[in-house]
Amino acid sequence: MEEKLKSAAIIILLLAGSVVSRAQENVVTLQPDKAKVVISKDIYGHFSEHLGHCIYEGIWVGENSTIPNTRGIRNDVVKALRNMGIPNLRWPGGCFADEYHWKNGIGPRDQRPTMINTNWGGVTEDNSFGTHEFMDLCEQLGCDPVITGNVGSGTVEEMSQWVEYLNSDNVSPMTDLRKKNGREKAWKVKYWGIGNESWGCGGAMSPEHYFDELMQFSNFCRNYNGNDLYRVGVGANVDDYNWTETLMRLWSKKSPWEQRLMNGISLHYYTVCNTWEDKGSATVFTEKDWITTLSKTIKIDELIYKHLAIMDKYDPAHKVGLSVDEWGNWFNVEPGTNPGFLYQQNSLRDAMVAGVNLNIFNSHADRIVMANIAQVINVLQSMILTQKEKIVLTPTYYVFKMYKVHQGATLIPLTVSCRDYTFDGKSVPSINVSASKDKEGRIHITLVNLDPNAANSVTLNLGITQNMNVTGEVITSKNMNDFNDFGVAAKVVPAKFDGFKLNGSQLVVNMPAKSIVSLELVIK
């Protein structure tokens, strides 16, 4: 019994890829000699859906808008996302994807048919932003497109033709149609989602039924001109381990040729502070809400470990990757806004959630191939808020910009020993950490102090004896619910950080309360 309890404790305490022991001292020990796994840039991906003002007003304003734009796409948004280092963008949904018929979104805009967006607000969708506009957006951003196909209400032929339209340079009806609509060369889109949330809004399917659909749809999503598709199957919602078990068991029985039709599976997990009926406010909250949100956020680490354990049982060679393609905070909409538009503000608490999640995803870099926070603009935990010609960069935006140094870098394994932050009967480790080494040999360490009240002194055992220059940046604010808003000076922004002291191979970092710190170490 004692051994079982110890094992359970270890699982619970796994955080950011390291065992966290309960101690008064905060000590992080890096193991640079064991750095082997590259952190996929796509872990830092984003999600855009035809939902509220994400696409329309957020990204797309049309060529005739007084808001500066390039072919209808906002210049200020493109500039901000490029500066943030956006690696990929998922589109068109979300629940919207399984009602979206792509041929309605091509050709002259004034001739495109309309539809009702039954999932999000019942508004009329005029299809003025479609395949060509999205691909133009990705080219302006310099990011990879991630397209979710319609399995719920679409046909195999429809999705097959979409892949051909985007990827084929052969002589064919779809290639001719693309050229007629103004695009001569194929775009060669690699990443394809085979449906979305097929267990729910995407079709209310059983895992067995969905797996059959996945195999059929994937089979007809062809590789053209040497462009090998990466097909992501619909994975589990939160802790639906039976869904993962069923998909992986059925996949393992397929021939190697058939197994290539599912390269990855997804995982969806939203941090909901209270209940789905009353999710709480994004800006008006107490310390009880703060620790509840952070403790629920950390739960994603346990979910990832358990889903990966199932995947590894059937796939010891790791042919199938994990894509956490929807994650983030979900609160009540802002008062006075359309309930179906999911517009919420973004505070320092959201920045903490982003920092913790990204550290955790980094720690699973050997298995997580992609992650996409929901969503990029004006919806849920967004990077950017827009109001006509105005734009606000959120605290979450600045975390992603700070953390972009990890993209494509090599993960440095580490162990953490830290004190707990405790409130209202809940406890979480107060320190959350990730470290990596980039191609130029620079080491980057990102730390989160989850305690909203107390500063934390953290000793970093670097495992490096060479002389180094250290620079730092910090994100924090006076109040835990501070946020950036229109017409006022931003409260939650990065600032220079010098609260550290280097002594040989040790670096002592004095972290302010409720802060996120990024350190860069350059060997002289």
Q: Which residues pair with 322 in a beta bridge?
A: 265, 368
- When divided into structural domains, the chain yields a total of 2
Q: What is the pLDDT of residues 225-276, one digit of tens each?
A: 888 999 999 999 999 999 999 999 999 999 999 999 999 999 999 999 999 9
Question: Which residues are marked as active site?
Answer: 197, 326
Give the chain's end-to-end CA distance (angstroms, integer). Answer: 52
> In terms of domains, do 242 and 214 share one?
yes
CATH number at residue 53: 3.20.20.80
- The reported pLDDT for the residue numbered 4 is 41
- The reported pLDDT for the residue numbered 24 is 57
- The reported pLDDT for the residue numbered 466 is 84
- Helical ranges in 337-417 per DSSP H: 348-363, 395-403
- The reported pLDDT for the residue numbered 6 is 41
Which H or E run includes 27? strand 26-30
> In terms of domains, do 22 and 51 share one?
no
Q: Which of 389, 406, 423 is the last residue of a domain?
A: 406
Neighbours of 274 (CB within 10 A): 15
> In terms of domains, do 74 and 202 share one?
yes
Report how far residue 11's alpha carbon sits from residue 429's, in angstroms, rounded to the nearest whole number.
Answer: 14
Token pair, residue 88, equals 């990929």
Report how far residue 482's alpha carbon sits from residue 489's, in angstroms, rounded to the nearest whole number.
Answer: 12
Q: Which of 354, 375, 406 is the last residue of a domain?
A: 406
Neighbours of 125 (CB within 10 A): 23
> In terms of domains, do 312 and 378 share one?
yes
> Would you call 357 exposed, middle or buried from its count of C-beta atoms within 10 A (0-12, 13-18, 19+)?
buried
- The reported pLDDT for the residue numbered 524 is 84
Report how far residue 521's alpha carbon sits from residue 217's, in angstroms, rounded to the nearest whole number.
Answer: 48
> In terms of domains, do 293 and 171 share one?
yes
Residues 6+ apart with CB under 8 A from 264: 230, 231, 232, 233, 320, 321, 322, 323, 369, 370
> In terms of domains, do 55 and 10 share one?
no
CATH number at residue 426: 2.60.40.1180
- The reported pLDDT for the residue numbered 78 is 98
153: three-class secondary structure by DSSP? coil
> In terms of domains, do 395 and 475 share one?
no
> In terms of domains, do 12 and 146 share one?
no
DSSP 71-119: TTEEHHHHHHHHHHT--EEEES-SGGGGG--GGGGSS-GGGPPPEEETT
> In terms of domains, do 348 and 302 share one?
yes
> In terms of domains, do 399 and 480 share one?
no
- The reported pLDDT for the residue numbered 2 is 40
- Taking every pair of Cα atoms in the chain, the longest distance, rounded to a whole number of angstroms, is 70
Q: What is the pTM of this model?
A: 0.93
> In terms of domains, do 295 and 160 share one?
yes
> In terms of domains, do 360 and 432 share one?
no
Residues 6+ apart with CB under 8 A from 198: 98, 151, 152, 205, 210, 213, 234
Q: Which of 406, 426, 447 is the last residue of a domain?
A: 406
Domain that holds residue 76: 41-406
Token pair, residue 475, equals 């994100």
pLDDT along the chain (524 residues), means of 10: 40 38 74 96 98 97 97 98 98 97 97 95 95 98 98 98 96 96 96 98 97 98 93 98 98 97 98 95 97 97 98 98 98 96 98 98 98 98 97 98 98 96 96 97 97 97 91 98 96 97 94 98 92
Q: Which among 160, 87, 164, 92 is positioned nearest to 131, based on CA atoms?
A: 92
Neighbours of 429 (CB within 10 A): 24
- The reported pLDDT for the residue numbered 474 is 98
